[in-house]
Structure 1
Amino acid sequence: MSKNDREAEAKAALERLHQQSERLLGAEPPPRDEPDDKIEILGKRIARVLSMIIMAGLIFYLWRTYFSG
């Protein structure tokens, strides 16, 4: 394989990579689908609050169990 053949193959590979990355990454981010359902929005908010409360409780429990005498 000559140097010219390798350079042509490398350039072709880079061009394919560039074309594929444009399709995958895109110029603009995909649109966010905001739910119109009020119950779904409320459910997500409740789940987020509960997860934060549970996380804080778990951290407190682990701190009290393993770090305080």
Structure 2
Amino acid sequence: MKTKAILNHLEEFGNITSWEAIKEYGVTRLSAVIWTLRHRYNLDITDEWISFTDRYGQNSQFKKYILNKEA
């Protein structure tokens, strides 16, 4: 199950990006999986925008999702 794979990744590494989800797990709609983890599993997952310049010199962004573990 892809939701479980993403959860395992978050628990092991603390964060994930769309590119990692595609490359490692074949998940092309990471935001949908994150929605499920937030709303059905009640997990505290935040996100932050990462800015970069692409190979064509254009500014672009992607999200990194972060699992906030309880202390």
TM-score by length of 1: 0.21
User: With CA pairs under 8 Å and 6+ residues apart, which has the higher RCO, 1 or 2?
Assistant: 2
Q: Which has the larger radius of gyration?
A: 1
TM normalised by structure 2 equals 0.21
Name the one with the larger helix percent: 1
Q: Flag the structure with higher strand content.
A: 2
